[in-house]
Amino acid sequence: MTYINEQLEEEKVFKDPVHRYVHVRDRLIWDLIGTAEFQRLRRIRQLGTSFFTFHGAEHSRFNHSLGVYEVIRRIIENFQGREHWDNNERLLSLSAALLHDVGHGPFSHSFEKVFKLDHEEWTRAIIVGDTEINKVLRRVSEDFPKKVAEVIAKTYENKLVVSLISSQIDADRMDYLQRDAFYTGVSYGHFDMERILRVMRPTEDQVVIKKSGMHAVEDYIMSRYQMYWQVYFHPVTRSAEVILSKILHRAKEIYEAGYEFAQQPTHFFSLFKSDVSLKDYLSLDESVMMYYFQAWMNEKDSILRDLCTRFINRKLFKYIEFNPNTSYLQLVELINLFQKAGIDTNYYLEVDSSSDLPYDFYRPGEEGERIPIYLLMSNGELRELSRESEIVESISGKKRTDHKLYYPLDLIEDLPDNSDVKKRIKEILHG
Ligand code: ZN
């Protein structure tokens, strides 16, 4: 028996609060789960700093990755024997599902921005580089790691396989919407995935949905819309995110200026120098980062010390609605006032903007277009979802942006009561 066909003697099951059980029967999948790089995902939260807002949101990327694998496993089970589905692609699809997020770093959102890293590139590096994952994949065939990386990068020749993992309605989104709703405890984010799985059909180059499943898909689109605004872009989560970015910036800045850390940031050296090896990258996780933040609460540098104390003890920045495009002059005035008050605006004043397209239908030739959702009509014709659904049509392609200004209210309150600077800052912030 070849490795790709090798089955476990007994099926393994993981208890999962979202999908009830995750079933593993293939030796390959079981071996991938056991690798050091996959186990590392246990130490990276799925929702970054959201746990400051929703205390249940401590679930990891390990959680989510198993979930995406399970969703794909069920989709493929339903595809058995259908036209256009080639069962030789089964283990490739399952491996790509399991590994699609393996390159995420700790608190990836801020982390990637500050150090100019891209988790997709690291995912590829982990799959094709010198890792345990690569060794397992190569047991299938020499070119198998490359194929898995291609599916994740959306360049694989079989677009049906790609669409299972990345499209407007893919296993990734279906898992994280439900999982994030479950762990945050919000009532949005629920939709009938079982129904969607039953009406999914393979075509030559993508998954489509039988027309009879349209309302389940509408629910899914709405849940995505709700989750973005109620959970993912929550202003308190973003406040923690702002502080986290400032910590990383500060640590890098003072390191470059030759500051002597009481707690040497050994894990960060290669990041500060923008020369990160795969080994360096894999040694980082959120436990490691939190360790440094705790240690840095005792640094001589008052900004690093203060920001870390804020992060560890959840003393977050306050915020107001603030559109930098229309309130530009106020922002300039605030910067001046903060400087007069001796508050460093590089670290203590930040405009943050979030935006999302809830459903982006096909617009040929436009950059960054996503694979749209097609409905399979009873006469065999395919119709793009927003042409059939009024609900989806009404939110299609509409980008909404939310701007907030973050600032440390406590530092402003600490200014002397009779100071004009304090009065004016408060006037601007509290309108
Ligand atoms: Zn994912």
Q: From the CA of 176, how far away is ligand 1's center (Å)?
A: 7
The answer to whether 11 and 25 have CB atoms below 8 angstroms apart is yes
Helix (H) or strand (E) holding 97: helix 90-99
Tens-digit pLDDT profile for residues 335-360: 999 999 999 999 999 999 988 777 77
Q: From the CA of 172, how far away is ligand 1's center (Å)?
A: 5
Confidence of residue 365 (pLDDT cuts 50, 70, 90): low
What is the arrangement of strands in the sheet containing 374-376, beginning at the earlier edge strand? 200-202, 207-210, 374-376, 382-384
Q: Over 60: is that where the pLDDT of 366 sits?
A: no
> How high does pLDDT run on average in the chain?
94
- In the CATH hierarchy, which fold is given to the domain comprising 234-316? Growth Hormone; Chain: A; (1.20.1250)
The answer to whether 356 and 230 have CB atoms below 8 angstroms apart is no
> How far is Cα 149 from Cα 381, in angstroms, rounded to an integer?
33
Q: Residue 430 has what pLDDT? A: 83
* Residue range 44-54: mean pLDDT, rounded: 97
Enumerate the CATH 1.10.3210.10 domain ranges in the chain, comma separated. 3-232
Tens-digit pLDDT profile for residues 15-31: 999 999 999 999 999 99
> How far is Cα 314 from Cα 51, in angstroms, rounded to an integer?
10
Q: From the CA of 335, how far away is ligand 1's center (Å)?
A: 38
* Residue range 210-237: mean pLDDT, rounded: 94
Pair of tokens at residue 368: 């960054």
Q: From the CA of 46, how far away is ligand 1's center (Å)?
A: 8
User: CB neighbours of 254 closer than 8 A, spacing ≥ 6?
Assistant: 261, 301, 304
Q: Residue 356 has what pLDDT? A: 78
Q: From the CA of 104, how far away is ligand 1's center (Å)?
A: 10
Tens-digit pLDDT profile for residues 313-336: 999 999 999 998 888 999 999 999
Confidence of residue 367 (pLDDT cuts 50, 70, 90): low
User: CB neighbours of 420 closer than 8 A, spacing ≥ 6?
Assistant: none
Q: From the CA of 273, how far away is ligand 1's center (Å)?
A: 29
Tens-digit pLDDT profile for residues 88-116: 999 999 999 999 999 999 998 889 999 99
Q: From the CA of 33, how far away is ligand 1's center (Å)?
A: 16
Q: From the CA of 62, how far away is ligand 1's center (Å)?
A: 10
Q: From the CA of 64, how far away is ligand 1's center (Å)?
A: 7
Confidence of residue 362 (pLDDT cuts 50, 70, 90): low
Mean pLDDT lowest among 36-40, 277-281, 324-328: 324-328
Enumerate the CATH 1.20.1250.30 domain ranges in the chain, comma separated. 234-316
* 3-232 belongs to CATH 1.10.3210.10: yes
User: CB neighbours of 325 closer than 8 A, spacing ≥ 6?
Assistant: none
Q: From the CA of 174, how far away is ligand 1's center (Å)?
A: 10
> How far is Cα 351 from Cα 184, in angstroms, rounded to an integer?
26
Q: From the CA of 101, how far away is ligand 1's center (Å)?
A: 5
Q: From the CA of 135, how far away is ligand 1's center (Å)?
A: 23
The answer to whether 174 and 196 have CB atoms below 8 angstroms apart is yes
Q: From the CA of 294, how far away is ligand 1's center (Å)?
A: 29
The answer to whether 274 and 115 have CB atoms below 8 angstroms apart is yes
Q: From the CA of 67, how far away is ligand 1's center (Å)?
A: 9
Helices vs. strands in the chain: H and E counts, helices first: 23, 9
CA 25 to chain centre: 28
Q: Residue 97 has what pLDDT? A: 98
Mean pLDDT lowest among 40-49, 226-235, 392-401: 392-401
Q: From the CA of 3, how far away is ligand 1's center (Å)?
A: 27
Between the alpha carbon of residue 121 and those of residues 9, 127, 232, the distances in Å are 36, 10, 23
- Give the CA diameter of the chain: 83
* Residue range 115-121: mean pLDDT, rounded: 93
Q: From the CA of 15, how far away is ligand 1's center (Å)?
A: 19
Q: What is the pTM of this model?
A: 0.95
Q: Over 70: is that where the pLDDT of 183 sits?
A: yes
Pair of tokens at residue 49: 């700093």
Confidence of residue 364 (pLDDT cuts 50, 70, 90): low
* Residue range 286-313: mean pLDDT, rounded: 98
CA angle 192, 198, 203 (to 5 degrees): 125
Q: From the CA of 192, how far away is ligand 1's center (Å)?
A: 19
Q: Over 80: is that where the pLDDT of 370 sits?
A: no
Q: Residue 361 has what pLDDT? A: 66
What is the arrangement of strands in the sheet containing 400-407, beginning at the earlier edge strand? 318-321, 400-407, 350-356
Q: From the CA of 61, how far away is ligand 1's center (Å)?
A: 8
Q: From the CA of 173, how far away is ligand 1's center (Å)?
A: 7
Q: From the CA of 296, how far away is ligand 1's center (Å)?
A: 31
Q: From the CA of 235, how far away is ligand 1's center (Å)?
A: 22
